[in-house]
Amino acid sequence: MNKKASLNLYAKIEPLIGFYQEYEGLYDKYLQIITSLKPKNILDFGCGNGRLLEKLKVSGFDAFGIDLSQDMIQKALLKGVKAYNKDIKELSGDFELIIAAADVLNYFDKSELNNILNEIFSKLAPKGYFLADINTLHGFRHVADGLLIKETDKRFLAVEADFQNKKLVTNFTLFEQNGEYYKKEQAVIEQYYYPLEYFKKLNILYLKKVISIRMFDKKIPDKNLMIFQKSP
Ligand SMILES: C[S@@+](CC[C@H](N)C(=O)[O-])C[C@H]1O[C@@H](n2cnc3c(N)ncnc32)[C@H](O)[C@@H]1O
Residue 33 has pLDDT above 70, yes or no: yes
* CA angle centred on 127, ends 55 and 199, rounded to 5°: 80
Matching CATH topology for 3-136+194-230 and 139-191?
no
Beta carbon of 7 within 6 Å of any ligand 1 atom: yes
Residue spans per domain, the chain: 3-136+194-230, 139-191
Q: Which of 13, 28, 68 to mutate to test the pocket of ligand 1 (most atoms within 8 A of CB)?
A: 68
User: Nearest 5°: phi and psi at 231?
Assistant: -75, 145
pTM of the predicted protein model: 0.95
Kindly state which CATH superfamily the domain 3-136+194-230 is placed in.
Vaccinia Virus protein VP39 (3.40.50.150)
The DSSP output letter for 141 is I
Beta carbon of 53 within 6 Å of any ligand 1 atom: no
* Nearest C-alpha neighbor of 153 from the set 170, 177, 169: 177
Residue 54 has pLDDT above 90, yes or no: yes
Q: Calculate how far, in angstroms, residue 47's C-alpha sits from the geometric centre of ligand 1.
A: 6
Residue 18 has pLDDT above 90, yes or no: no
Q: How far apart are CA 181 and CA 38, in angstroms?
A: 53
Looking at CATH, the fold of the domain delimited by 139-191 is given as N-terminal domain of TfIIb (2.20.25)
Beta carbon of 52 within 6 Å of any ligand 1 atom: yes
Beta carbon of 133 within 6 Å of any ligand 1 atom: no
Residue with the smallest CA separation from ligand 1 atom 10 is 104
Q: Calculate how far, in angstroms, residue 69's C-alpha sits from the geometric centre of ligand 1.
A: 8
For 114-129, what is each residue's pLDDT tens digit?
A: 999 999 999 999 999 9
Q: Calculate how far, in angstroms, residue 202's C-alpha sits from the geometric centre of ligand 1.
A: 22
Cα–Cα separations (whole angstroms), residue 146 to 156, 163, 219:
17, 9, 19
Assess contact for 169 and 190: CB atoms under 8 A: yes
